[in-house]
Amino acid sequence: MMRFESCGSSYEEGYSVNTMIAQLIYILFVLVIEYVIYIEYTKKKSSTSAMLFWVTFWALSALVILIPKAIDSLASLVGLQSQKGIDLLLDVAVVAIFYLIWKLFTRLERMERSITSLTRTIAYVQRDKEDSDTHRHVQ
């Protein structure tokens, strides 16, 4: 077994070559995603806060993949009985997914209300225009 020093903490490394390849693939995947996030931001298709959120999220996920023992230490600090970092990661992921679903749902409701209001306004304007055109032709 090799001993690695990372971020001030050491841990024994017993990963196989396959695990290291999987980590590399994931890191490349994260880099591609972060590049796409950057491109979306520069094209003004994403807000600054959304860009910062997603860049931070993907950077932290890459860090967890690179240093899996760090999340195990955090899990034991939080008090998870199994002291497995993946349990903590999954718990946080489930909560985050439900939060994002709630945010999307509330945003969708707001957009539906805006579309309804806009549609009504357009209908009233068109009706008023047709009424004024009809009165001109009658006279």
Write out the chain's pLDDT in tens, 139 residues: 444 444 444 444 556 777 788 788 888 988 998 999 899 899 988 889 888 988 998 888 888 878 877 777 777 777 766 556 666 667 677 777 888 888 888 889 999 999 999 999 999 999 988 888 777 665 5
Q: Buried b / exposed e across 89-116, counting CB within 10 Å, b at 16+?
A: beeeeeeeeeeeeeeeeeeeeeeeeeee
Number of domains in the chain: 2
Could you tell me if 62 and 86 lie in one domain?
Answer: no
**Cβ atoms of 65 and 26 closer than 8 Å:** yes
Could you tell me if 18 and 49 lie in one domain?
Answer: yes
The domain containing residue 113 runs over which residues? 82-139
Query: Hunting for tokens 């240093």 — which residue is that?
Result: 67
